[in-house]
């Protein structure tokens, strides 16, 4: 018999999991959240909760002996990464054969490590990706609901134009303008009032101190401060940390049984527990949720899962690149880590790209304009399962499609500004495009394929997917607002139809 029973269990505490937990708790349903990462609320010996990107320690990465930062080198020198001791740090880089995937680990999932960009996709592209979803209802109800609960705000344009901290963004905007390209402000969940106070010297610096991928000590409205705080505030939600769900099965009475390993701070499994629930919500993210369902299907624990579980995965077309500016075109030694602008060429039917203007906060003038391009790469891959672990069929040739699309856009920008690419940022000596990692893993349990149109898993009643695995590989912008809004839509439907007594 399972040790612990709860009416509802949520696996993972990222966007999908946090929305599920909050709405279940508010509906009066006792809910247990199981999260494999730690709770980030206690300061380390240096007095801060998260370590800095400039001097990373064990808190930076998930059980590593050396950090694996996205920008590995600078002037070809391995100056960025550091030796660390294994610990449940906040950023993980999951390696597959041809691509690696960055994800957040901890209470709040990706919201702890991400750039906070809170972008709503163009309605036409959303409708193209989700033909089975009522787009009017999404844009009228669920996107606004998600943005409000996430605490989305925008930079004051007058402050943006004047501050040294966004000079790098203004320089890239000017280069785009010379190319005849459109730029657009993008909202963020970082509190811009706090940021202005950081600049004025009246608040402790976080975004203005280089903090981002290893966590922000101030200013960012991560999920632990929004949805998860609301969930715990209902008194109906309990949170277990450092517990990784490894298997899901179904009892004879139709309830679900979960097997979870609890680890200590060295990663040793100290206890294996079984949990039981009537309603099971999977919010482990594209990788976490897909692995659980794939394992359940392939081991025969949940044999009726749809054949499409594991399919429809993509990188959201992610590519990172840097351009080398002229000496007179300084980007500034002071750079805010929270991006606020993108080059929007998505409407260009022959080569749709949305490129966010990214910071490179080294504290020194480096003349680099950095970008994270989101390209409309049509390539998709599937996961397979063998020997207890999951493999991803994504190939280097599929990443090259993203790089070629980014090159097409940035060749134009370089031509218009007589500039070139930077080749010293991504490890080897000749790489201008980092297409071997993604920040935006999407798909694996696609909405309307592995699930019904509302995230109900096909073949298994009262089992739901609420996270990025529902998105079919691409959404054209940074994904968390879409993931949150879809989870809101799922929870509204489930609470209205499935959980009523």
Among the residue ranges 1-9, 44-52, 279-287, 397-405, the one whose residues contact ligand FAD (CB under 6 A): 279-287
Q: Which is nearer to ligand FAD, 16 or 419 (CB)?
A: 16
Residue 245 interacts with ligand FAD (CB under 6 A)?
A: yes
- Residues 6-35, mask of contacts with ligand FAD (x by CB under 6 A): -----xxxxxxx----------------xx
Q: Which is nearer to ligand FAD, 35 or 424 (CB)?
A: 35
> Of 206, 337, 478, 490, which one interacts with ligand FAD (CB under 6 A)?
478
The answer to whether residue 326 is catalytic is no
Backbone angles phi, psi at 498, to 5 degrees: -100, -35
Write out the binding residues for ligand FAD, residues 197-226 only, by CB under 6 A: 213
Side-chain-facing half-sphere of 375: CA atoms under 13 Å: 28
| Residue of 35, 175, 440, 488 marked active site | 440
Q: Which is nearer to ligand FAD, 117 or 381 (CB)?
A: 117
Residue 113 interacts with ligand FAD (CB under 6 A)?
A: yes
- Residues 440-459, mask of contacts with ligand FAD (x by CB under 6 A): x-------------------
Q: How far, in Å, are 14, 108, 239, 299, 491 from residue 9 at the CA level? A: 14, 16, 10, 22, 14
Interstrand relation of 31-34 and 91-95 (parallel, antiparallel or unpaired): unpaired
Contact 198, 208 (CB under 8 A): yes
Among the residue ranges 98-106, 139-147, 396-404, 418-426, the one whose residues contact ligand FAD (CB under 6 A): 98-106
Side-chain-facing half-sphere of 379: CA atoms under 13 Å: 20
The answer to whether residue 175 is catalytic is no
Residue 194 interacts with ligand FAD (CB under 6 A)?
A: no
Residues that contact ligand FAD, how many (by CB under 6 A): 40
- Show the beta-strand stretches assigned E in 134-268: 183-185, 237-240, 243-250, 256-263
> Of 25, 56, 88, 109, which one interacts with ligand FAD (CB under 6 A)?
109
Residue 117 interacts with ligand FAD (CB under 6 A)?
A: yes
Among the residue ranges 114-122, 201-209, 393-401, 418-426, the one whose residues contact ligand FAD (CB under 6 A): 114-122
Residues, the chain: 501
Smallest gap from residue 330 Cβ to ligand FAD (A): 25
Residue 74, Cβ neighbours under 10 Å: how many? 17
Dihedral angle at the C-alpha atoms of 283, 285, 287, 292, nearest 10 degrees?
0
Please spell the DSSP secondary structure of 435-460, one letter per residue.
-SEES--EEES-TTTTB-TTSBBTTS
Helix, coil or strand: residue 421? strand
- Cα-Cα-Cα-Cα dihedral sign, residues 435, 437, 438, 441: positive
| Residue of 211, 356, 379, 488 marked active site | 356
Residue 345 gets which letter from DSSP? E
Helix, coil or strand: residue 220? strand
In the numeric block, the tokens 């050396």 are attached to 66
Among the residue ranges 41-49, 149-157, 306-314, 475-483, the one whose residues contact ligand FAD (CB under 6 A): 475-483
What residues are paired with 370 via a beta bridge?
322, 358
- Residues 288-327, mask of contacts with ligand FAD (x by CB under 6 A): x---x-----------------------------------
Contact 41, 63 (CB under 8 A): no
Residue 467 interacts with ligand FAD (CB under 6 A)?
A: yes
Residue 142 gets which letter from DSSP? I
Residue 490 interacts with ligand FAD (CB under 6 A)?
A: no
Active-site amino acid positions? 356, 440
* List of residues contacting ligand FAD (CB under 6 A): 11-17, 34-37, 102-106, 109-110, 113-117, 213, 244-245, 283-286, 288, 292, 439-440, 467-468, 478-480, 483
């Amino acid at each position: 018999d399972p040790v612990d029973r709860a009416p509802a269990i949520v696996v993972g505490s990222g966007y999908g999991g946090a929305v599920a937990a909050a709405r279940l708790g508010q509906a009066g349903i006792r809910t247990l959240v199981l999260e494999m990462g730690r709770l980030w609320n206690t300061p380390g010996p240096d007095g801060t909760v998260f370590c800095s990107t400039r001097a990373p320690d064990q808190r930076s990465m998930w059980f590593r002996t050396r950090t694996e930062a996205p920008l590995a080198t600078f002037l070809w020198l391995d100056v960025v990464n550091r030796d660390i001791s294994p610990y449940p740090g906040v950023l993980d880089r999951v390696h597959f054969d041809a691509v690696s995937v960055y994800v957040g680990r901890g209470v709040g999932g990706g919201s702890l490590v991400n750039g906070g960009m809170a972008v709503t996709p163009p309605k036409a592209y959303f409708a193209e990706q989700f033909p089975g979803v009522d787009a009017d209802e999404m844009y009228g109800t669920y996107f606004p609901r998600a943005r409000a609960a996430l605490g989305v705000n925008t930079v004051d344009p007058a402050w943006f134009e004047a501050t040294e901290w966004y000079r790098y963004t203004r320089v890239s905007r000017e280069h785009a303008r010379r190319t005849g390209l459109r730029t657009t402000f993008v909202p963020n969940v970082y509190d811009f009032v706090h940021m202005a106070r950081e600049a004025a010297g009246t608040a402790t610096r976080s975004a203005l101190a280089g903090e981002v991928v290893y966590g922000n000590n101030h200013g960012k409205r991560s999920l632990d401060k929004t949805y998860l705080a609301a969930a715990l505030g209902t008194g109906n939600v309990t949170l277990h940390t450092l517990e990784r769900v490894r298997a899901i099965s179904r009892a004879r009475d139709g309830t679900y049984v979960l097997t979870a390993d609890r680890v200590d701070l060295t990663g040793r499994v100290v206890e294996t527990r079984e949990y039981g629930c009537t309603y099971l919500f999977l919010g482990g993210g594209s990788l976490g949720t897909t692995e659980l369902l794939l394992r359940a299907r392939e081991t025969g624990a949940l044999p009726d899962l749809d054949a499409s579980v594991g399919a429809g995965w993509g990188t959201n077309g992610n590519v990172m690149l840097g351009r080398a500016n002229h000496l007179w075109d300084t980007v500034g030694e002071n750079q805010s880590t929270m991006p606020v602008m993108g080059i929007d060429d998505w409407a260009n039917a022959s080569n749709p790209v949305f490129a966010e203007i990214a910071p490179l906060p080294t504290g020194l003038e480096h003349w680099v304009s950095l970008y994270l391009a989101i390209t409309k790469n049509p390539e998709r891959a599937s996961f397979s399962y063998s020997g207890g672990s999951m493999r991803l069929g994504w190939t280097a040739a599929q990443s090259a499609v993203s790089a070629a699309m980014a090159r097409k856009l940035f060749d134009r920008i370089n031509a218009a500004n007589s500039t070139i690419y930077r080749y010293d940022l991504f490890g080897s000596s000749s790489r201008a495009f980092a297409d071997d990692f993604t920040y935006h893993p999407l798909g694996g349990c696609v909405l309307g394929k592995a699930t019904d149109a509302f995230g109900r898993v096909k073949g298994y009643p009262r089992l739901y997917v609420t996270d990025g695995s529902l998105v079919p590989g691409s959404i054209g912008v940074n994904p968390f607002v879409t993931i949150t809004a879809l989870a809101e839509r799922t929870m509204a439907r489930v609470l209205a139809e499935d959980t009523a007594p």
